[in-house]
Amino acid sequence: MKRHALVLTWLERECDGWQDILPWALFDREVSGQVVTHDAHGPVAARDQAKCRLSVRGRVADLNYIPFRCFNEAQGMDLGVLRLRFADSSRQAISRVEWRHVEDDAFSVARVTAERVPLHRLAQPYDVLRKRATRVRAEPGVRSGQLEFRRRIKLIYDGRCCVTGCDVVDALDACHIDAHRGASSDKPHNGLLLRTDLHTLFDKNMMAFDPQTLRVHFCAEARTWPEYAHLHRRVRLRLPRDRNPLVRPSVKALERRWRAFKELDKYGDG
């Protein structure tokens, strides 16, 4: 008997093209609160994971991502509860997909396609994504959007790193605070200009900014290097001169990254 996977492809503006991939065997029996980690594939071959508590009863399965806030937000995932409604109690076909955001009181129908895909077709799942990524990069609109984000962030921060003040153009990156999830992520308040090495540490949650003081913190491992130890807790995030809240770093986004950093560095004193 062939094994299958459930592939959910999101059509919402904020996460258009992202796919959640779950083994269909998860729904073979009724469970309550089972911890599940599954793959999430981005529209340009990004590879992430999401963690949830799965409950299956009758014709309904709920995947609750809220208990694993730090893990999921570090991956750039939205928080909420995904509800799958099956056509019958055999749970072999999806009739409707619903979503309740963490801040919402009720479920709403999600704009998503649900496919039952044989696992052998996913044996090399990233081949398809790599082909799709090639097509996306070839589209002028997507490429220019990425370049526009970099250009705007460099202008906002006067071409200087937000932490070190470095102004060597080729050593600077426009960095997303919340992980990139499509065009809606390319807003000025979701960007920082960081030196390339700091961008890498930030993306790995080895560095973050205290949202209260805006001081930079490095994890214990990074502080073994004198330069990062010297910056740790001493240097504040350099804000744009423009006081427009649509330009300045999002406090909520910084808080999400701070929680993820503290979770990963809980055995240090970062």
Q: What is the pTM of this model?
A: 0.49
| pLDDT of 118 higher than 90 | no
Q: What is the pLDDT of residues 23-63, one digit of tens each?
A: 999 999 999 999 999 888 765 445 577 899 999 999 999 99
User: Residue 185's closest CA among 71, 76, 98, 25?
Assistant: 76
- Tell me the residue type at 95: S
User: Residue 203's closest CA among 178, 168, 166?
Assistant: 178
Sign of CA dihedral 236, 69, 11, 127: positive
Query: Residues 4-27: what's their mean pLDDT?
Result: 83
| pLDDT of 83 higher than 60 | yes
Q: What is the pLDDT of residues 138-149, one digit of tens each?
A: 344 433 456 778
- Residue 130's pLDDT band (boundaries 50, 70, 90)? very low
pLDDT attached to residue 162: 95
User: Residue 116's closest CA among 14, 187, 220, 21?
Assistant: 21
CA-CA distance, 198 to 176, in Å (whole number)? 12
Q: Are 101 and 110 in contact (CB under 8 A)?
A: no
pLDDT attached to residue 146: 67
